[in-house]
Amino acid sequence: MTRVAIVTGGSRGIGRAAAERLAADGMAVVIVYAGNQTEAGKTVEGIKASGGQAVAAQADVGDENAVAAAFDVAEQTFGGVDVVVNSAGIMPLGTVAEMDLEVFDRIMRTNARGTFVVSQQAARRLRTGGAIINVSSSVVGLRFPQYGAYAMSKGGVEALTLVLARELRGRDITVNTVAPGPTATALFLEGKDEETVANLAKQAPLERIGVPEDISEVVSFLAGPARWINGQTIRANGGII
């Protein structure tokens, strides 16, 4: 039986790399995207061109009805769901004093509520032997200025991970989080000059910025062979903290 993965935020960056890696691992993949249908389509076509199986489903991860419909697509197209990767996220920056609270609410809706809503469907629908993989950020530990709202949203994701792992006792479903460090995605690079990126690269002992494939390798591990890792947060950041 082919295993089936749902990847939110699968049209770009870490989500796309995760979807491509899971497809290469032999899974059928549902690419959930918020609004960029063109990029989602490119991801699907790329997977198919490599011999994999993939479809796209549009959904605001904060909308429980849209998320339920995306799970329906997975079940109707491929027969069920085994793996869920919660990769959808936004990262507007700003100090606590100056951040517009409407922006704060948007961050929380996508990053915190979105992960919760998707995890709720996953908890209800995943087949035995499944895996839920959340995506946090190493900034939860680094605590850079201006990342307060973002770090707060991702800290909640890490807290949810062990709670859900315990709630799924007896189901043979693992729940883990991967927390990337600075990674060369459009989300991370936006608004940063070359000097800023170079300084961040120097912080890790490996002296480089991560690439999406570094993170998708960990996702693949947690989605497949890593059955004894559960309720954990893995900081994939080259040793930055």
> pLDDT tens, 61-108?
999 999 999 999 999 999 999 999 999 999 999 999 999 999 999 999
**Contact residues for 109 (Cβ-Cβ < 8 A; gap 6+):** 62
| Total number of domains in the chain | 1
Q: What is the pLDDT of residue 199?
A: 82
**Whether 10 contacts 34, CB under 8 Å:** no
The one catalytic residue among 150, 153, 154, 214? 150
Q: Is 150 a catalytic residue?
A: yes
Q: Would the pLDDT of 182 be above 90?
A: no
Structural domain includes residue 172: yes
Q: What is the pLDDT of residue 194?
A: 82
Q: Would the pLDDT of 41 be above 80?
A: yes
Q: In what order do the strands lie in the sheet with 28-33?
A: 53-58, 28-33, 4-8, 83-86, 131-135, 174-180, 233-236
Q: Specify the pTM.
A: 0.95
74: left (phi over 0), alpha (psi -120 to 50) or beta: alpha
Q: Would the pLDDT of 191 be above 80?
A: no
**Whether 72 contacts 66, CB under 8 Å:** no
Nearest to 176 by CA among 133, 210, 207: 133
Q: Which of 24-28, 49-53, 110-114, 183-187 has the lowest mean pLDDT?
A: 183-187
Structural domain includes residue 241: no
Q: What is the pLDDT of residue 135?
A: 97
* CA atoms of 113 and 89, how far apart (whole Å): 11
Q: What is the pLDDT of residue 85?
A: 98
Structural domain includes residue 107: yes
Average pLDDT, the chain: 95
- Mean pLDDT across 36-52: 95
Q: What is the pLDDT of residue 239?
A: 93
Counting Cα atoms < 13 Å in the Cβ hemisphere of 28 gives 17
Domain of residue 11, residue span: 4-236
Q: Would the pLDDT of 187 be above 80?
A: no
Per-residue b or e along 221-240, where b marks 16 or more CB atoms closer than 10 Å to that residue's CB: bbbeebeeebebbbbbbbeb
- Mean pLDDT across 205-213: 91
- Let me know if 16 is exposed, middle or buried by CB neighbors in 10 A (0-12, 13-18, 19+): buried
Q: Length of the chain in residues, anyone? A: 241
Confidence of residue 203 (pLDDT cuts 50, 70, 90): confident
Structural domain includes residue 231: yes
Kindly report the CATH number assigned to the domain that includes residue 175.
3.40.50.720
- Mean pLDDT across 53-63: 97
* CA atoms of 204 and 229, how far apart (whole Å): 25
Q: Hey, what's the torsion of the CAs at 28, 32, 37, 39, to 10 degrees? A: -70
Place of tokens 């629908």: 125
- Let me know if 165 is exposed, middle or buried by CB neighbors in 10 A (0-12, 13-18, 19+): middle
- Mean pLDDT across 183-209: 81
